[in-house]
């Protein structure tokens, strides 16, 4: 029987990134994927004729350019198309737009408040300063602050030095920034509710927190750290949907000799003598490997795929205590013709970007209160895009694919599992919100894919349907992610590694966890990492 050098569980983007790097280092790598399609949460599937959906994740910006380059993703067909605008619609029939041009942007804000229009630069400066502080940490392994190993001390000192390199004022802002709510942070710059809502949304996307929850200012940063072709903070679509990202990764992987097996669900990880020896697939087939890397979240990996007896109690306790928390759902809509938003001028670039309907922080927070009470939001927050406005490959001419990311949707409804009726009710909350701003919207719908946390967990395997494989709260960042003592991609089982978004630096289609895990693995094997670009300088 063949023994692979490494078996990667899950053909999500991080699993594929990890597999690519290992394969390119000369290992013989097998990726096993339970579905008959690849991509995990970064996938494009056609569920109705003449439409392709980005079923889960829908935008591409956080993906590290260093990884794209190393794995030659442009060569394997990845094209990213930048947003041209964006807006929050207001209930009085107007909207607040975001334009890429600085001066157009200022004049748009000045329609609502001259003061806020002129406050933007200072806000942007302060957020940029925070991004610059965080960005270099993304492509590094977090130190263990309880360790005196030279590597950990070195990393700890790196953190300390980065912090010490700030001016006292910056340090003071940094310590506040990491723990503030985005609402409080924005109150220090802006006075207009819709302008605050416009920024606050980046503080909540993907989390089970409201904009008034401490710690959401950091979440905003997590969404700002992306770049499209060097333009920091910019967002873009992957042409052909998010599946194009994983397709390019898979092609890159195969081109370097890697193997992917689909419809190969892992039932458990083979462990003997405290070391991972391979996996057992559903149906009983054993696949041997010198090591196993799991792209699944930490709970799924250690509470489902590994027998508890193989793990130290304290580790199991900490894994159980890891907060995953589904908070969002997704409604993918196939439209017969382009939706019209009368608030927008016909030629507005807003159609080619992200659109929202939550025009106050209070509405956003109230939507969160519903989540806390175990309900989907009656007045949900939507992050809505129409990729086909820029990408004709996803729908037949004249037809459109609309992607709605929806918050909040609890992992359980009133303590019980989601039902189909719940799912329909959830979808209706979304449709009726859009229809309020877009007459005739309902009639244009030809097909819908509604994904509550139940569907996301069942199909993609994300526990509780959380898009980040775990909350981005302070107790689950850096050396605490996913669990204290195991924040360096290793586990208590020899040869069993983690590479999913449960690990540092977390979710979003970023690829950094997969890459960082590969660096640790290759270090353990004393293999070279010359094929891995160092993190770009932040100067």
Partner 1 sequence: MTSSDAPKWDVVVIGGGHNGLVAAAMLGKARRKVLLVEAADALGGAARTEEFHPGFRASSVAHLVNRLHPDVVKSLNLAAHGLKFETDEVLPSVALSKDGNPLLFGGAYGETLTGASDAEAAAWKTLRAQLFRYAGILKPFLARRPPDLRGMAFGEKSALGLAALSVRRLGKEDMRDFLRMLLMNVADVLDEHLEDERLRGLLAFDTVLGCHLGPRSPTSLLGLYYRLVGEIDGVAGAQAITKGGMGAVVAALATAAEKVGVTTRKATTVKRILVESGRAVGVELDTGETVHAKTIVSAINPRTTLIDLVGARELDTGIVRKAQHIRMHGDAAKLHLALDGMPAFKGLTADQHRARLVIAPSVDHVEKSFNPSKYGEFSPEPVMEITIPSLVDRYLAPSGAAVLSAVVQFAPYRLKEGWETGKPKLLAAIMATLEDHAPGIGGLVRHAELLTPADIEARYHMPGGHWHHGELQIDQMLVSRPFFGAEGYDTPVEGLFLAGAGSHPGGGISGAPGLNAARRVIEMRG
Partner 2 sequence: MSPTAEKVTRGDQAHFRLYRLPSPFQPRLEALGRTEDWYNWAGYKAPNTLWDEELEYFAIRSQAAAFDISPMTKYRIEGRDAEALMNKVTLRDVSKLKPGRVQYTAWCDDEGHVLDDGTLFRLSADRFRLCSQERHLPWLLDSAAGMDVTVEEETEAVAGLALQGPTSYAVLASAGFAGVERLKIFDLAEFPFGDGTVTISRTGFTGDLGYELFAPAGQALALWDLLFQAGRLHGLRAIGYRALNRARTEAGLIVANADFITSEHAVRADRLRQPDEIGLGFMVDLDKGHFNGRRAIAEARRKGSLKHVLVGLEIEGNIPAEHAIVYHNRKKEVGLVSAAIWSPMAKRNIAIADLARPYGEKIVDDLWVEIYALRELQYQKLMKRAKIVPRPFIKLDRRTANPPGEF
Residues found near partner 2 in the complex (CB under 8 A) = 85, 94, 97, 99, 101-104, 106-108, 110-115, 117-119, 121-122, 125, 128-129, 132, 166-167, 169-170, 189, 191, 343, 345, 347-349
Least Å from the CB of residue 132 to partner 2: 7
Least Å from the CB of residue 104 to partner 1: 28
Task: Indicate the residue among 157 and 282 with the shorter CB distance to partner 1.
Answer: 157
286 contact choice in partner 1, partner 2, none (CB below 5 to 8 Å, kind-dependent) = none
Least Å from the CB of residue 221 to partner 1: 15
Q: Please, are residues 95 and 87 in contact by the beta-carbon 8 Å criterion?
A: yes
Give the binding site for partner 1 (CB under 8 A): 145-148, 152-153, 156-157, 159-166, 168-169, 171-173, 175-176, 179-180, 184, 187-188, 209, 212-215, 314, 318, 321, 323, 362, 365-366, 369, 372-373, 473-475, 479-480, 484-485
Least Å from the CB of residue 508 to partner 1: 19
159 contact choice in partner 1, partner 2, none (CB below 5 to 8 Å, kind-dependent) = partner 1
323 contact choice in partner 1, partner 2, none (CB below 5 to 8 Å, kind-dependent) = partner 1
> In angstroms, rounded to a whole number, what is the distance separating the alpha carbons of residues 498 and 12?
13
Task: Indicate the residue among 64 and 196 with the shorter CB distance to partner 1.
Answer: 196
DSSP 3-state of 216:
helix
CA distances from residue 56 to 35, 92, 311, 530 in whole angstroms, order as listed: 15, 31, 32, 33
Least Å from the CB of residue 101 to partner 2: 4
Q: Give the relative orientation of helices 13-24 and 512-524 as an angle to the nearest 10 degrees.
A: 30
DSSP 3-state of 297:
coil
Task: Indicate the residue among 360 and 388 with the shorter CB distance to partner 1.
Answer: 360
33 contact choice in partner 1, partner 2, none (CB below 5 to 8 Å, kind-dependent) = none
164 contact choice in partner 2, partner 1, none (CB below 5 to 8 Å, kind-dependent) = partner 1
Least Å from the CB of residue 125 to partner 1: 14
443 contact choice in partner 2, partner 1, none (CB below 5 to 8 Å, kind-dependent) = none
Task: Indicate the residue among 4 and 489 with the shorter CB distance to partner 1.
Answer: 489
Least Å from the CB of residue 122 to partner 2: 5
Least Å from the CB of residue 212 to partner 1: 6
Q: Among candidates 510, 502, 538, which has minimal Cα distance to 62?
A: 510
Q: In sequence order, what DSSP letters do the residues of 149-181 get, joined into one string?
A: -HHHHHHHHHHHHHHHTS-HHHHHHHHHHTTS-
Least Å from the CB of residue 189 to partner 1: 10
Q: Among candidates 295, 318, 313, which has minimal Cα distance to 305?
A: 295
Q: Please, are residues 468 and 206 in contact by the beta-carbon 8 Å criterion?
A: yes
Q: Please, are residues 327 and 400 in contact by the beta-carbon 8 Å criterion?
A: no
Structure tokens belonging to residue 455? 């569907």
Residues 6+ apart with CB under 8 A from 456: 41, 56, 326, 329, 330, 462, 465, 467
The dihedral formed by the CA atoms of 477, 481, 482 and 485, expressed in degrees to the nearest 10:
-140
Task: Indicate the residue among 124 and 446 with the shorter CB distance to partner 2.
Answer: 124
Burial of 215 (0-12, 13-18, 19+ CB in 10 A): buried
Task: Indicate the residue among 484 and 494 with the shorter CB distance to partner 1.
Answer: 484
Task: Indicate the residue among 391 and 471 with the shorter CB distance to partner 1.
Answer: 471
> In angstroms, rounded to a whole number, what is the distance separating the alpha carbons of residues 449 and 46?
10
Q: Tokens 């097998």 map to which residue?
A: 30
Task: Indicate the residue among 232 and 431 with the shorter CB distance to partner 2.
Answer: 232
The b-or-e profile of 512-526 (16+ CB within 10 A means b, else e) is bbbbbbbbbbbeebe
104 contact choice in partner 2, partner 1, none (CB below 5 to 8 Å, kind-dependent) = partner 2
């Amino acid at each position: 029987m063949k023994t692979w050098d490494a078996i990667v569980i899950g053909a999500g983007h991080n699993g594929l990134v990890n597999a690519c790097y290992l394969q390119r280092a000369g290992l013989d790598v097998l990726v096993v994927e339970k579905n008959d399609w690849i991509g995990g949460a970064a996938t494009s599937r056609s569920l109705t004729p003449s439409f392709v959906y980005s079923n889960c994740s829908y935008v591409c910006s956080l993906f590290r350019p260093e990884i794209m380059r190393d794995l030659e993703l442009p060569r394997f067909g990845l094209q990213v198309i930048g947003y041209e605008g964006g807006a929050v619609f207001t209930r009085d029939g107007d909207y607040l737009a975001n334009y890429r041009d600085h001066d157009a942007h200022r004049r748009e804000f000045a329609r609502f408040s001259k003061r806020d229009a002129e406050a933007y630069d200072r806000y942007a400066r302060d957020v940029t300063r925070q991004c610059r502080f965080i960005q270099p940490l993304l492509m590094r392994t977090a130190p263990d602050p309880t360790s005196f190993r030279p590597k950990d001390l070195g990393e700890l000192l790196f953190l300390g030095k980065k912090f010490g390199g700030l001016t006292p004022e910056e340090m003071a802002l940094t310590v506040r920034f990491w723990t503030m709510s985005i609402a409080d942070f924005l109150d220090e710059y802006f006075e207009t509710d819709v302008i605050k809502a416009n920024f606050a949304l980046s503080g909540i996307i993907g989390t089970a927190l409201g904009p008034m929850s401490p710690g959401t200012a950091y979440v905003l940063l997590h969404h700002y750290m992306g770049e499209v072709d060097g333009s920091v903070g910019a967002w873009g679509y992957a042409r052909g949907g998010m599946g194009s990202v994983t397709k390019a990764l898979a092609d890159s992987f195969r081109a370097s000799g890697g193997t992917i097996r689909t419809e190969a669900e892992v039932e458990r990880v083979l462990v003997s003598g405290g070391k991972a020896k391979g996996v057992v697939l559903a149906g009983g087939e054993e696949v041997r490997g010198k090591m196993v890397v799991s792209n699944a979240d930490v709970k799924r990996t250690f509470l489902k795929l590994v027998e508890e007896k193989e793990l130290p109690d304290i580790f199991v306790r900490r894994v159980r205590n890891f907060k995953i928390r589904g908070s969002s759902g997704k409604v993918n809509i196939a439209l017969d013709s382009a939706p019209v938003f009368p608030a927008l001028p016909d030629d507005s670039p807003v159609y080619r970007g992200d659109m929202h309907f939550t025009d106050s922080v209070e509405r956003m927070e109230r939507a969160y209160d519903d989540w806390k009470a175990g309900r989907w939001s009656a007045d949900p927050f939507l992050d809505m895009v129409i990729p086909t406005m820029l990408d004709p490959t996803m729908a037949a001419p004249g037809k459109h694919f609309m992607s709605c990311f929806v918050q909040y949707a609890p992992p359980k409804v009133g303590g019980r599992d989601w039902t189909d009726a719940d799912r329909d009710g959830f979808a209706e909350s979304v449709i009726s919100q859009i229809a309020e701003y877009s007459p005739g919207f309902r009639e244009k719908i030809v097909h819908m894919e509604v994904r509550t946390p139940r569907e996301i967990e069942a199909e993609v395997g994300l526990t509780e349907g959380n898009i980040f494989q775990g909350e981005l709260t302070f107790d689950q960042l850096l050396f605490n992610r996913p669990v204290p003592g195991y924040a360096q991609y290793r586990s208590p089982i020899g040869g069993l590694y983690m590479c999913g978004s449960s690990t540092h630096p977390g979710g979003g289609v970023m690829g950094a966890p997969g890459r960082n895990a590969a660096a640790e693995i290759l270090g353990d094997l004393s293999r070279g990492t010359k094929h891995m670009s160092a993190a770009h300088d932040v100067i």
